[in-house]
Structure 1
């Protein structure tokens, strides 16, 4: 690679990585998730410019190779943000980059392949081995078909997440005197697994590094963002029993208990045909009402 080519690659990587960091920083700053959802496509576009410039030789590892911890985290974040921000269609772009160097990226990591299968339906044979076991073993266990107590495993992953990321360049950046390189500490991959495997996050949703509002937003919008996504079906439910999502302002299609993440303590009973309200000023953007799994509460206004 010539000096000029190297400079182009370096610049393209800087633009791509900083676009991702800026998106995360905006999330950290509390910008509306609906706004962030509109930005993820530009992040993917920036990486789409970088990847062809890499032009790695056959079987040569490069900067988006998941054998490297930092690259593994970046890839998991990109997949997570595409899915959680309602743009599952962008997952194929990320996978296209990784498949360019399949020798290093595919069939090497059990957690990664489990996530990819959930996102795309494509199954790659892989042993239950991990490229980065110290950091990701608990989360991988939470995705196993025979996993017991998935919430406990995700919480274990979150508890050790920051410590186990000590080799990443962004670790400990909150102590920088200028603070210029800090963009937030978020285990987006934990939220992705939570949504894809429909895990109850009650026991860890207030964890410091868990992006709970992003997981909530994804769950509310998943029927719109990826109607054929297997994760649209709650665990143990048939595909015909998928949860209903109704926009605020529309009539209730079925009497029962409904809630929306656009407002805390929103669970309430609606009669069929009753107009479901729009929650104004919510960080989650548009209001979508979700039919509650549990319908056993007293069926009268104000009953919880």
Structure 2
């Protein structure tokens, strides 16, 4: 059963196969002489992008979460090669703009996504260390640094939040009393996508792009651009801080299955759904049961 209702099973089958073939083709081409060496760093980064988008496509289709771990090695290899080549091509200022969490919203979200996936999938230490080295920006963000520090225990923690919109709500959920955390976490997930459609700032530091590159890809489904809109940032916080995410189960953008194994019982799901029903949010119960068991 697909986890993402915006596209049917046939869509995911078609574009997952396409992604596998595209990665294979790009890797073969990367071994050939380059017509323009200045483009090679970006080419390898696009290979890395194909890997993480494939992970989302397979999650959206409903594939086993454990199957996603196989793509981390290739992703890391391509990203490392992109960084290595970039030191020879990009100016110091260009390298900062490509890597900075403060000025590059896409980089910040990517690091948050990969951190959440890495923590949920419990990737090996060697891969984790390579990932944190690629993410960089140690001590830059009070939220993402805290989450990364749950496994990288010596990491410095930033004092400011790079992107208050939409991430202030997630930070509030982490800092809230346990009784308030489920409600605030739900508010974050509900507003996450809408608040990423950010207006251009007129002054001060702003991101290179005011909204992520993939924003609006749901309108490009026919061309295969859409890979799912999943708020892995919330999963990362739930995993690290043991937040109660029961009010988020069934929300369109919440990838709660990343934290739940395939052996979840119907009784456990009913208990969660009953808890949500008591909070007077009945639509979640329907979507949760339908998503996990195909019944209402």
Shorter-chain TM range is 0.5 to 0.7
Match 1:98 to one of 93, 112, 135: 135
1:122 maps onto 2:154 in alignment: yes
Match of 1:235 in 2: none
* Cα distance change of structure 1 residues 37 and 214 upon mapping to structure 2, 3 Å threshold: same
Give per-residue Cα distances to partners, 1:197-251, cap 9 Å, x unaligned. Answer: 111111111111111111223xxxxxxxxxxxxxxxxxxxxxxxxxxxxxxxxxx
Match 2:109 to one of 51, 73, 77: 73
- TM-score, normalising length: structure 2: 0.67
* Cα distance change of structure 1 residues 13 and 213 upon mapping to structure 2, 3 Å threshold: same
CA distance in 1, matches of 2:81, 2:238: 31
Looking at CA atoms only, which structure, 1 or 2, has the larger radius of gyration? 1
Match 1:161 to one of 180, 189, 192: 192
1:63 maps onto 2:63 in alignment: no
Match of 1:277 in 2: none
Deviation at 1:48, TM superposition (A): 2.1
CA distance in 1, matches of 2:119, 2:161: 22
Deviation at 1:177, TM superposition (A): 5.9
Counting only pairs closer than 5 Å after superposition, residues 123-202 of structure 1 correspond to structure 2 as: 123-127=155-159, 129-144=160-175, 149-166=180-197, 167-176=211-220, 178-202=222-246
Structure 1 gaps of 5+ residues are 100-104, 218-259, 268-283, 285-304
Give per-residue Cα distances to partners, 1:44-99, cap 9 Å, x unaligned. Answer: 22222222222155574142321211110001111111111121522211211233
Does the aligned pair in 1 maintain the 2:143–2:171 contact within 8 Å? yes
Number of residue-to-residue matches in the alignment: 219
CA distance in 1, matches of 2:252, 2:176: 28
* Cα distance change of structure 1 residues 124 and 138 upon mapping to structure 2, 3 Å threshold: same
> What SS does the aligned partner of 2:249 have?
coil
Match of 2:267 in 1: 265
Match of 1:226 in 2: none
* Cα distance change of structure 1 residues 47 and 200 upon mapping to structure 2, 3 Å threshold: same
Give per-residue Cα distances to partners, 1:107-134, cap 9 Å, x unaligned. Answer: 221101111211211241432x211001
Match of 2:275 in 1: none
CA distance in 2, matches of 1:111, 1:88: 23
> What SS does the aligned partner of 2:151 have?
helix
> What SS does the aligned partner of 2:222 have?
coil
Does the aligned pair in 2 maintain the 1:143–1:197 contact within 8 Å? yes
Q: Which moved more, 1:55-64 or 1:107-116?
A: 55-64
Task: Identify the structure with the greater strand proportion.
Answer: 1
- TM-score, normalising length: structure 1: 0.65
TM-align CA RMSD: 2.5
Structure 2 gaps of 5+ residues are 1-33, 198-210, 270-291
* Cα distance change of structure 1 residues 106 and 202 upon mapping to structure 2, 3 Å threshold: same
Match 2:256 to one of 212, 223, 235: 212
